[in-house]
Amino acid sequence: MTAHDSGTGTLHTGPLTFESEAPERPHTSSGNSLRPAMVVLGLAVVILGGFAALGLLTSQPNAPVRTGTSPHSVPGSTLLAVPAAHVLSVIIKDDGPPSDIVNAVSVPAGTVRISAQDNSGASAQYDSQVVLRSDASQGALLSFFTAAMKQQGWQVFDRGPAANHPGATEVLGKLAGSDGWYWDMGAVIPPTSFSPGAPAGGWTDVTIRLYQESDQF
Protein backbone atom coordinates (compact mmCIF):
# COMPACT_ATOMS: atom_id res chain seq x y z
CA MET A 1 0.00 0.00 0.00
CA THR A 2 1.04 3.72 -0.43
CA ALA A 3 0.35 6.79 1.65
CA HIS A 4 -0.42 10.27 0.23
CA ASP A 5 1.17 13.42 1.68
CA SER A 6 -1.58 16.04 1.46
CA GLY A 7 0.91 18.94 1.70
CA THR A 8 3.23 18.11 -1.25
CA GLY A 9 1.20 15.77 -3.34
CA THR A 10 3.98 13.22 -3.05
CA LEU A 11 3.21 9.62 -2.70
CA HIS A 12 5.24 7.64 -0.25
CA THR A 13 5.52 4.05 -1.14
CA GLY A 14 7.15 2.69 2.04
CA PRO A 15 5.35 0.02 4.03
CA LEU A 16 2.88 1.15 6.57
CA THR A 17 3.41 0.22 10.20
CA PHE A 18 0.70 -0.26 12.82
CA GLU A 19 1.17 0.03 16.56
CA SER A 20 -0.67 -2.50 18.63
CA GLU A 21 -0.63 -3.61 22.26
CA ALA A 22 1.18 -6.81 23.18
CA PRO A 23 -1.24 -9.75 23.39
CA GLU A 24 -2.45 -10.41 26.91
CA ARG A 25 -1.31 -13.72 28.37
CA PRO A 26 -4.19 -15.97 29.29
CA HIS A 27 -4.82 -16.35 33.02
CA THR A 28 -3.86 -19.67 34.49
CA SER A 29 -6.09 -21.44 36.96
CA SER A 30 -3.45 -23.84 38.23
CA GLY A 31 -3.22 -22.12 41.61
CA ASN A 32 -6.95 -22.38 42.26
CA SER A 33 -7.21 -25.98 41.04
CA LEU A 34 -4.44 -27.16 43.36
CA ARG A 35 -6.04 -25.71 46.48
CA PRO A 36 -8.88 -28.28 46.85
CA ALA A 37 -6.40 -31.10 46.22
CA MET A 38 -4.15 -29.82 48.99
CA VAL A 39 -7.12 -29.63 51.37
CA VAL A 40 -8.06 -33.23 50.61
CA LEU A 41 -4.44 -34.32 51.07
CA GLY A 42 -4.27 -32.55 54.42
CA LEU A 43 -7.44 -34.24 55.65
CA ALA A 44 -6.09 -37.62 54.58
CA VAL A 45 -2.89 -37.03 56.54
CA VAL A 46 -4.89 -36.06 59.66
CA ILE A 47 -7.12 -39.15 59.39
CA LEU A 48 -4.16 -41.49 58.87
CA GLY A 49 -2.40 -39.90 61.83
CA GLY A 50 -5.45 -40.50 64.00
CA PHE A 51 -5.59 -44.17 63.04
CA ALA A 52 -1.86 -44.54 63.70
CA ALA A 53 -2.23 -43.01 67.17
CA LEU A 54 -5.19 -45.28 67.92
CA GLY A 55 -3.17 -48.28 66.82
CA LEU A 56 -0.34 -47.35 69.16
CA LEU A 57 -2.74 -47.00 72.07
CA THR A 58 -4.49 -50.31 71.47
CA SER A 59 -1.27 -52.20 70.78
CA GLN A 60 0.36 -51.36 74.11
CA PRO A 61 1.31 -54.49 76.03
CA ASN A 62 -0.98 -55.55 78.86
CA ALA A 63 0.01 -54.82 82.41
CA PRO A 64 1.18 -57.93 84.29
CA VAL A 65 -1.40 -59.87 86.27
CA ARG A 66 -1.40 -58.84 89.92
CA THR A 67 -0.64 -61.94 91.96
CA GLY A 68 -0.28 -60.33 95.38
CA THR A 69 -2.64 -61.28 98.20
CA SER A 70 -2.32 -58.24 100.44
CA PRO A 71 -5.85 -57.30 101.59
CA HIS A 72 -7.27 -53.84 101.08
CA SER A 73 -10.51 -52.18 102.08
CA VAL A 74 -13.44 -51.63 99.72
CA PRO A 75 -15.66 -48.59 100.33
CA GLY A 76 -19.19 -49.81 100.92
CA SER A 77 -18.21 -53.23 102.27
CA THR A 78 -17.06 -54.55 105.62
CA LEU A 79 -15.01 -57.31 103.92
CA LEU A 80 -11.38 -56.90 102.90
CA ALA A 81 -10.47 -57.62 99.26
CA VAL A 82 -7.55 -59.35 97.54
CA PRO A 83 -6.72 -59.71 93.81
CA ALA A 84 -8.52 -62.70 92.33
CA ALA A 85 -5.67 -63.98 90.13
CA HIS A 86 -4.84 -66.84 92.51
CA VAL A 87 -8.37 -68.27 92.32
CA LEU A 88 -8.83 -67.50 88.60
CA SER A 89 -5.50 -69.00 87.52
CA VAL A 90 -7.06 -72.30 86.36
CA ILE A 91 -9.34 -70.51 83.86
CA ILE A 92 -6.79 -68.03 82.49
CA LYS A 93 -5.90 -69.13 78.94
CA ASP A 94 -3.95 -67.81 75.97
CA ASP A 95 -7.18 -66.43 74.48
CA GLY A 96 -8.27 -64.65 77.63
CA PRO A 97 -9.16 -63.02 79.76
CA PRO A 98 -6.58 -60.22 79.21
CA SER A 99 -4.64 -59.18 82.27
CA ASP A 100 -6.55 -55.93 82.76
CA ILE A 101 -9.79 -57.91 83.11
CA VAL A 102 -8.20 -60.37 85.54
CA ASN A 103 -6.81 -57.45 87.56
CA ALA A 104 -10.30 -55.91 87.72
CA VAL A 105 -11.63 -58.86 89.74
CA SER A 106 -11.36 -58.90 93.52
CA VAL A 107 -12.56 -61.50 96.02
CA PRO A 108 -12.92 -61.41 99.79
CA ALA A 109 -9.77 -62.24 101.72
CA GLY A 110 -9.75 -65.88 102.82
CA THR A 111 -11.80 -67.09 99.83
CA VAL A 112 -10.83 -70.51 98.46
CA ARG A 113 -11.58 -72.11 95.09
CA ILE A 114 -13.50 -75.39 95.17
CA SER A 115 -14.15 -75.98 91.44
CA ALA A 116 -13.77 -74.55 87.93
CA GLN A 117 -15.60 -75.03 84.65
CA ASP A 118 -15.22 -74.10 80.97
CA ASN A 119 -18.58 -73.10 79.47
CA SER A 120 -17.39 -72.09 75.99
CA GLY A 121 -17.93 -75.45 74.28
CA ALA A 122 -17.83 -74.95 70.50
CA SER A 123 -18.20 -71.19 70.84
CA ALA A 124 -15.30 -68.98 69.80
CA GLN A 125 -16.02 -66.64 72.71
CA TYR A 126 -14.35 -67.17 76.07
CA ASP A 127 -16.71 -68.33 78.85
CA SER A 128 -15.47 -69.88 82.11
CA GLN A 129 -16.31 -69.84 85.80
CA VAL A 130 -14.99 -70.76 89.21
CA VAL A 131 -16.86 -71.61 92.40
CA LEU A 132 -15.41 -70.03 95.52
CA ARG A 133 -16.18 -70.59 99.19
CA SER A 134 -16.27 -67.81 101.76
CA ASP A 135 -17.25 -67.71 105.40
CA ALA A 136 -19.07 -64.40 104.80
CA SER A 137 -22.87 -64.26 104.58
CA GLN A 138 -24.87 -63.94 101.38
CA GLY A 139 -25.79 -60.35 102.21
CA ALA A 140 -22.20 -59.36 102.99
CA LEU A 141 -20.99 -60.92 99.73
CA LEU A 142 -23.67 -59.15 97.68
CA SER A 143 -22.54 -55.81 99.12
CA PHE A 144 -18.89 -56.72 98.60
CA PHE A 145 -19.11 -57.65 94.92
CA THR A 146 -21.32 -54.66 94.14
CA ALA A 147 -18.82 -52.27 95.74
CA ALA A 148 -15.67 -54.03 94.51
CA MET A 149 -16.83 -54.25 90.89
CA LYS A 150 -17.73 -50.55 90.84
CA GLN A 151 -14.37 -49.71 92.41
CA GLN A 152 -12.57 -51.67 89.65
CA GLY A 153 -14.44 -49.90 86.86
CA TRP A 154 -17.14 -52.44 86.01
CA GLN A 155 -20.42 -51.01 84.77
CA VAL A 156 -22.84 -52.81 87.07
CA PHE A 157 -26.08 -53.33 85.15
CA ASP A 158 -27.88 -55.81 87.40
CA ARG A 159 -28.03 -56.45 91.13
CA GLY A 160 -30.68 -58.56 92.85
CA PRO A 161 -32.33 -61.97 92.57
CA ALA A 162 -30.50 -64.33 90.23
CA ALA A 163 -32.34 -65.73 87.24
CA ASN A 164 -32.83 -69.53 87.34
CA HIS A 165 -31.25 -69.75 90.83
CA PRO A 166 -34.00 -69.71 93.49
CA GLY A 167 -32.89 -67.90 96.61
CA ALA A 168 -29.62 -66.70 95.04
CA THR A 169 -28.62 -63.13 94.35
CA GLU A 170 -26.32 -61.81 91.63
CA VAL A 171 -24.20 -58.87 90.54
CA LEU A 172 -23.55 -58.46 86.82
CA GLY A 173 -21.11 -56.02 85.25
CA LYS A 174 -19.51 -55.09 81.93
CA LEU A 175 -16.01 -53.79 81.19
CA ALA A 176 -14.02 -53.04 78.02
CA GLY A 177 -10.84 -55.11 77.79
CA SER A 178 -7.48 -54.20 76.29
CA ASP A 179 -8.07 -56.90 73.64
CA GLY A 180 -10.80 -54.82 71.99
CA TRP A 181 -13.71 -56.88 73.36
CA TYR A 182 -16.30 -56.22 76.03
CA TRP A 183 -16.20 -58.62 78.97
CA ASP A 184 -18.99 -59.53 81.38
CA MET A 185 -18.56 -60.63 84.97
CA GLY A 186 -21.20 -62.27 87.07
CA ALA A 187 -21.14 -63.11 90.77
CA VAL A 188 -23.96 -65.49 91.71
CA ILE A 189 -24.40 -65.86 95.48
CA PRO A 190 -26.66 -68.59 96.89
CA PRO A 191 -27.99 -68.55 100.45
CA THR A 192 -25.46 -69.17 103.19
CA SER A 193 -25.16 -72.83 104.13
CA PHE A 194 -24.97 -74.21 107.66
CA SER A 195 -24.24 -77.77 106.61
CA PRO A 196 -22.06 -80.08 108.76
CA GLY A 197 -18.49 -78.93 108.78
CA ALA A 198 -19.36 -75.29 108.18
CA PRO A 199 -18.18 -72.67 110.69
CA ALA A 200 -20.64 -71.30 113.20
CA GLY A 201 -21.55 -68.46 110.88
CA GLY A 202 -21.93 -70.81 107.92
CA TRP A 203 -20.24 -70.57 104.53
CA THR A 204 -21.34 -69.33 101.16
CA ASP A 205 -20.33 -70.68 97.75
CA VAL A 206 -20.00 -67.95 95.12
CA THR A 207 -19.83 -68.57 91.37
CA ILE A 208 -17.65 -66.08 89.49
CA ARG A 209 -18.21 -66.21 85.74
CA LEU A 210 -16.23 -64.32 83.10
CA TYR A 211 -17.26 -64.31 79.48
CA GLN A 212 -16.38 -62.40 76.35
CA GLU A 213 -19.17 -60.63 74.49
CA SER A 214 -19.55 -61.24 70.76
CA ASP A 215 -19.27 -57.52 69.93
CA GLN A 216 -16.07 -55.52 69.79
CA PHE A 217 -15.87 -51.83 70.61
User: 10 Å Cβ neighbour count for 94?
Assistant: 4
Residue 148, CB half-sphere, CA atoms under 13 Å: how many?
A: 28
Tens of pLDDT, residue by residue over 118-156, are: 998 888 899 999 999 999 999 999 999 999 999 999 999
pLDDT at 7 over 80: no
User: Which helix (H) or strand (E) segment is 115 a member of?
Assistant: strand 112-118
Q: Which domains, ranges and CATH numbers included, belong to the chain?
A: 81-216 (3.30.530)
User: Which helix (H) or strand (E) segment is 117 a member of?
Assistant: strand 112-118
pTM over 0.75: no
Lowest mean pLDDT among 18-27, 30-39, 139-148: 18-27
